[in-house]
């Protein structure tokens, strides 16, 4: 089923990027940006994008529910059924803080999950048009070409650590453990960009503290289907509906094992 859904989903995402997201880029009035929580922004473009995506995805696959970031912000109970049955998972603009500040990266993310298992995922960069997608058991692709995850080849593996949702104690511990093992780099604060970096050989390791499905469902599948590894810190698979903390992604199983051993054990 996911394979036959690919073209209509991509067409919908590109339409939303072209008609809703990009016209608002660097064109937002002050009243069109607000904070849902500290350092967690939402814009009129997020809201309009999610409405259009939800309408379009429901038409493509009517039997699937919709788990959207902004809908869940308005009604947190929606998230309670994320692991039940067939659901579209929607992030209308990932990296909203960047988008609101008028800078890249940001993206549109859609995934399809059944009883928590991620069946397919799509990540669109509206600025460049780059489309990453993966289908369970069918590999990962960028702009239609199959891709395989590769290590950066740097003397020290490159680690991008999303520590901003960690406690101060957790941050200090991860940084101490990374010393002389990894080269730490800044993260883009955008999962739609971070996951492709793991596959493209730009980053070797990423650690995420908060693991909400709209941020991570598509990217986790993308890395795993490309031959990398993205799992919970204990090695268990990431499942939609599991709201635990902590997710470790790496460009290869070897580097996943190294990071898990040095950073968390």
Residues marked as binding for Mg(2+)?
A: 69, 91, 93-94, 215
Task: Single out the residue of 246, 190, 254 nearest to residue 219, CA to CA.
Answer: 190
Q: Kindly list the distances between the CA atom of residue 25 and the CA atoms of 20, 37, 127, 217, 251, in Å, as whole numbers in the listed order.
A: 9, 22, 10, 25, 31
Contact between 197 and 91 (Cβ < 8 Å)? no
Residue with tokens 């986790």: 220
**Torsion, CA 211, CA 60, CA 45, CA 133, rounded to 10:** 50
SS3 of residue 148 by DSSP:
coil
Angle between helices 213-225 and 191-200 (to 10 degrees): 10
Cβ-Cβ contacts under 8 Å for 256 (sequence gap 6 or more): 205, 228, 229, 231, 248, 249, 250
Residue with tokens 């999950």: 113
| Residues annotated within a binding site | 69, 91, 93-94, 215
Contact between 106 and 119 (Cβ < 8 Å)? no
Within 13 Å of residue 129, how many CA atoms lie on the same side as its CB?
4
């Amino acid at each position: 089923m996911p394979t036959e859904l690919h073209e209509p989903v991509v067409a919908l995402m590109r339409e939303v990027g072209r008609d809703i997201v990009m016209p608002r880029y660097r064109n937002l009035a002050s009243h069109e940006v607000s904070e849902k929580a500290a350092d967690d922004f939402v814009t009129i473009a997020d809201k309009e994008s999610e409405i259009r995506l939800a309408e379009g995805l429901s038409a493509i696959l009517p039997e699937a529910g919709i788990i959207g970031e902004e809908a869940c912000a308005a009604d947190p109970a929606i998230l309670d059924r994320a692991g039940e049955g067939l659901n579209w998972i929607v992030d209308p603009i990932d990296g909203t803080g960047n988008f609101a500040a008028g800078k890249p990266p940001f993206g549109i993310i859609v995934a399809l999950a059944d009883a928590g298992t991620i069946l397919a995922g799509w990540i669109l960069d509206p600025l460049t048009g780059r489309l990453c997608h993966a289908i369970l058991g069918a590999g990962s692709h960028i702009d239609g070409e199959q891709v395989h995850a590769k290590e950066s080849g740097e003397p020290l593996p490159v680690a991008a650590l999303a520590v901003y949702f960690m406690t101060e104690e957790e941050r200090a511990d991860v940084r101490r453990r990374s010393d002389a093992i990894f080269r730490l780099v800044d993260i883009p604060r955008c999962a739609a960009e971070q996951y492709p970096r793991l596959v493209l050989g730009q980053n070797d390791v990423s650690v995420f503290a908060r693991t909400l499905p709209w941020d991570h469902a598509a990217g986790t599948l993308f890395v795993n289907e490309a031959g990398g590894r993205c799992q919970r810190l204990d090695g268990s698979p990431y499942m939609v509906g599991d709201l635990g903390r902590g997710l470790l992604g790496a460009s290869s199983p070897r580097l996943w094992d190294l990071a898990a051993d040095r950073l968390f054990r």
